[in-house]
Amino acid sequence: MRDALLTRDFEALPTKHAALLAYALKVTREPSTCCRDDVDALRLAGASDEEIHATVQVAAYFNYINRVADGLGVDLEAWMPKAAGGQR
């Protein structure tokens, strides 16, 4: 699943997992476009309300905590790789 997330190639994943990962990316990149139709589509893909809620909570929390760390200038741990361009 990690490779699928890094490459954005979700085709090899079960439909439900692919849909949840794609939605986590949408919550991260385009949160203002998320709507009830997205949630309905996740349900049709086989995700339970609990799985949808957990996906949104985890994505939102990681987005939040990364912004807090960035805003405070927190340095990466030595073991953490830097992203392309030298950013986190």
Tens of pLDDT, residue by residue over 11-59, are: 888 999 999 999 999 999 999 999 999 999 999 999 999 999 999 999 9
Q: Which amino acid is at 13?
A: L
Tell me what pLDDT residue 12 has: 83
Tell me what pLDDT residue 84 has: 60
Measured between alpha carbons, how far is residue 59 from residues 6, 11, 56 in Å? Answer: 15, 21, 5
Question: Could you tell me the pTM of the whole model?
Answer: 0.78
